Amino acid sequence: MSSFALFAAIIILLPTIQQIVATQVPIFQFDDPYQCRASSGTYCFVSTLRRTPENVRTNPRRLSVHFRRELLEWGLCTKQCGGDVAHLTKADRALLKRPHFSTSNYSYPDHYFPERIYMEKLFGDLMQVCVNYRLLALYNVTGYPDLENCITGTHVPWQFFDWYGCFFYMILFTSIISFSMCNVLDLCGYKIVRAASIRRNWIRLTRYGTEDNISEIRCIEGLRFLLILATIAFNCFMLMITFPVDNPEKVEQLLNHPLVLNVLSCMFWIIPAFLTIDGFLLMSHFLNFREKRDDFCARYFRYQFVNRLVDSYPLYTMVLLYTSIMDTVWGGAPSVGRYLMMTREARFCRKNVWSNLLLVNNYPSTSLEMCYAPGWYFAASTHMFVLGSALLCLTWVFPKTIKYIKWTVPIIAIILPGVGAYLFPSAPLPPLQLNDIQSGFMYQTWYRMMYLPTHMNAGCYLVGMLSGYYTHKSKIVEVCLFRNKVYKWIRRLSFPAVLFTACTPFLFYRLNIVRPGLFTSVYAILFNSSSSIFLAVCLLQNFRNIPRILIRCIETPLFIIPTRLSFCLYVIHPIVLRWFLSLGDPRDGFELVKYPLLFGKVFVITFLLAVALFLFVEEPARNFFGSILLEKQARGERETPRRVRIAPLEMSLRY
């Protein structure tokens, strides 16, 4: 009797069970790329919408970490698809064809993939029929396929050798020839090739100079190096969870944990921390220079700006050009992982190379599809350096304005994120939606409107400048902070504010708080500024009395080497990470135990490449362009040294 009842229940619930099973369509599905290549097939990437799309990127209804179930990303082999649909009649094929949505906000623009039109003519109809045939046969659903691109067994003809590649290889070959000749002359005893001497550059890297004996410098260097380590670890995890896998539900389950949500959200404080340190160093060096010279010196600001570009821009340009052509550098047939991790990124950089080179790539109007994540921070930091220098110039010419500027301008800048959260329909914190992470947040309103623009990060930089101002004043006993009631309240509330902000991001995913209002605006201000204010207070407190334990930990000269490689580590690690992930197979499953191994391999290779970049690119370019530009700027200025790393008492402002 029980068996009959069970059988009857199954018969009754069979339609419901079929419907439930039919909705579990795999988000990622990839045919065997090696078998496809062996059969001389073409491998195509198809994005399929299962229903009419909604503009969820610009008008999110709720916060969620899950993949969008209506969007499928499949990799199909033309040979296998041809065999699957060979028995279908023309009438059946016509029924399975569905036009894709050209304005779905899920597909990349055509100008990034000029070969798409050609591939659409060859395989567009086949992909539409094949995708809908598989969906209908296996899951009883249909969709609207959109062919993104195809790769063949050999390099495709549209990977043309444009000016990006010409410029990059011209610099590379010229550098190799110059380095070979210069190092031979250096070994022979000639001293006219100091800039390109590997031996001399290695001495500069490992030298323990007099400026390294100052504990303040080493603390700032160490803090920045730790932040870069956190950046590499964060980017390793983010790219790892966005790489297509066979079990995406395991990634969703991991991100649903409140602790993971809070930690990943707080990782977005790394950039504000960098900017706070930059502002602190800018103000500290300016006040040190101001003590030696009372009359206004416009050449000082020109010198610092040129020195900043000389320190950072050549290496940044070299890595950016390589990012634009990295999909064509590696020999052999292109793989699925290489396309997902390298080709897309390179295509975006090709179209946005000028906005990246001109350092205007952190605004939506100048860079529609973002590429090379370190570039936008370099642009924002440079903008804030110019703005901060303008404010310092104003206070130097009109000293009485400082009492109005030092509080009003930072407060206005701190309030800007709250105004942005009210004007733009987005959450006050980073939405960790897996599809948005997969596209690098480039279409996310919060990322483009509230995280990238310079004016939204101005508060962090100005808070750092304010901290540097009071640090300097407290050293020369011009101000007693412990008697200042405002400072007392800021010092008492900074840590509770950071703790509250760090422990509450998961609530926005549970309660779906995304509508603009007073609460979201206040929380946006806290999320964007609380960490910077807390760091500024820590710098202000610790620079007056650095703990002895911390000083002992960084006394060794070996500590200087990784800190001098900070900028090289920062600019090269995205390429190394993408290269490692490009070796993966999207048919494999997600396993968290792979993360420590991935981070270790990425860091070791990045460190070795950073040493090479320092010896062959960064230090030679700094010496060469510095000898040309900085000596002209410093000519006739006894107070301004010719060989200065931005500050006599602080580290180089490379970011």
Question: What does the block give as tokens for 264?
Answer: 């990943």
Q: Is residue 512 part of a domain?
A: yes
Q: Are residues 146 and 201 in the same domain?
A: no
- pLDDT for position 194: 63
User: Are β-strands 71-77 and 28-30 bridged in parallel, bridged antiparallel, or unpaired?
Assistant: parallel
Q: Are residues 225 and 147 in the same domain?
A: no
Question: What does the block give as tokens for 116?
Answer: 């798409």
Mean pLDDT is lowest, of 18-22, 374-378, 501-505, for 18-22
Spatial separation of the C-alpha atoms in residues 337 and 158, rounded to whole Å:
19
Confidence of residue 18 (pLDDT cuts 50, 70, 90): very low
Spatial separation of the C-alpha atoms in residues 478 and 489, rounded to whole Å:
20
395 and 405 Cβ atoms separated by less than 8 Å = yes
Q: Residue 35: beta bridge partners?
A: none
- Compare 314 and 56 and report the one with higher pLDDT: 314
Q: Is residue 641 part of a domain?
A: no
Q: Are residues 297 and 416 in the same domain?
A: yes
- pLDDT for position 330: 63
Question: What does the block give as tokens for 309?
Answer: 């570009």
Q: How far is CA 110 from the centre of its chain?
A: 24
Confidence of residue 261 (pLDDT cuts 50, 70, 90): very high
Q: Are residues 382 and 278 in the same domain?
A: yes
- Compare 616 and 480 and report the one with higher pLDDT: 616
User: Are β-strands 144-151 and 43-49 bridged in parallel, bridged antiparallel, or unpaired?
Assistant: antiparallel
Helix axis angle for 215-242 and 594-613, nearest 10°, is 130
**377-429 tens-digit pLDDT:** 899 999 999 999 999 999 888 888 888 888 888 888 889 888 888 887 777 88
Number of residues that this document lists for the chain: 655
Q: Are residues 132 and 253 in the same domain?
A: no
Question: Identity (one letter) of the amino acid at 177?
Answer: I
- pLDDT for position 15: 45
Q: Are residues 111 and 248 in the same domain?
A: no
618 and 568 Cβ atoms separated by less than 8 Å = yes
Reported in sequence order, the residue ranges of 143-201 that DSSP labels E, i.e. its strands, are 144-151
Q: Are residues 225 and 278 in the same domain?
A: yes
For the segment 210-221, the average pLDDT, to the nearest whole number, is 62
- pLDDT for position 17: 42
**Does 234 have pLDDT greater than 90?**
yes
Spatial separation of the C-alpha atoms in residues 567 and 562, rounded to whole Å:
10
Determine what percent of the chain is predicted with pLDDT higher than 90: 20
334 and 386 Cβ atoms separated by less than 8 Å = no
Tell me the residue range of the domain where 53 lies: 25-151
Confidence of residue 190 (pLDDT cuts 50, 70, 90): low
Mean pLDDT is lowest, of 328-332, 528-532, 533-537, 538-542, for 328-332
- pLDDT for position 535: 92
**Does 121 have pLDDT greater than 70?**
yes
Q: Are residues 146 and 190 in the same domain?
A: no
Spatial separation of the C-alpha atoms in residues 243 and 438, rounded to whole Å:
7
Q: Is 490 exposed, middle or buried (0-12, 13-18, 19+ CB in 10 A)?
A: middle
Q: Are residues 185 and 245 in the same domain?
A: yes
Domain boundary among 86, 116, 151: 151
**Does 59 have pLDDT greater than 70?**
no
Q: Are residues 129 and 182 in the same domain?
A: no
- Compare 552 and 652 and report the one with higher pLDDT: 552
- pLDDT for position 531: 92
In terms of Cα–Cα distance, which of 628, 649, 637, 648 is closest to 306?
A: 628
Q: Is residue 555 part of a domain?
A: yes
**Does 312 have pLDDT greater than 60?**
yes
421 and 444 Cβ atoms separated by less than 8 Å = no
Q: Is residue 12 part of a domain?
A: no
**Does 7 have pLDDT greater than 50?**
no
Out of 439-448, 572-581, 630-639, the most confident range is: 572-581
- Compare 653 and 581 and report the one with higher pLDDT: 581
**Does 103 have pLDDT greater than 50?**
no
- pLDDT for position 105: 55
- Exposure string over 302-341, b if 16+ CB within 10 A, otherwise e: ebbebbbebbbbbbbbbbbbbbbbbbbeeeeebbbbbbbb
**Does 255 have pLDDT greater than 80?**
yes
Question: What does the block give as tokens for 436?
Answer: 């948005």
Q: Is residue 645 part of a domain?
A: no
**Does 213 have pLDDT greater than 60?**
no
Q: How far is CA 497 from the centre of its chain?
A: 26
Q: Are residues 412 and 499 in the same domain?
A: yes
10 and 44 Cβ atoms separated by less than 8 Å = no
Out of 48-52, 105-109, 623-627, the most confident range is: 623-627
In terms of Cα–Cα distance, which of 188, 388, 129 is closest to 280?
A: 388
Spatial separation of the C-alpha atoms in residues 410 and 466, rounded to whole Å:
8
**Does 1 have pLDDT greater than 80?**
no
For the segment 565-576, the average pLDDT, to the nearest whole number, is 91
The per-type count for the chain, helices as H runs and strands as E runs, is 29, 4
- pLDDT for position 13: 42
* Average pLDDT value for the chain: 79
Confidence of residue 648 (pLDDT cuts 50, 70, 90): very low
- pLDDT for position 511: 80
DSSP summary character for residue 447: I
Q: Is residue 171 part of a domain?
A: no
**Does 654 have pLDDT greater than 50?**
no
Q: Are residues 183 and 145 in the same domain?
A: no
- pLDDT for position 4: 43
Q: Is residue 18 part of a domain?
A: no
**Does 157 have pLDDT greater than 50?**
no
Q: Is residue 291 part of a domain?
A: yes
Q: Residue 151: beta bridge partners?
A: 43
| Count of structural domains within the chain | 2
For the segment 162-181, the average pLDDT, to the nearest whole number, is 75
Mean pLDDT is lowest, of 75-84, 169-178, 453-462, 632-641, for 632-641
For the segment 119-138, the average pLDDT, to the nearest whole number, is 89
**Does 638 have pLDDT greater than 70?**
no
**Does 652 have pLDDT greater than 50?**
no
In sequence order, which ranges of 401-543 are alpha helices (DSSP H)?
402-423, 434-438, 445, 454-475, 485-503, 505-511, 518-542
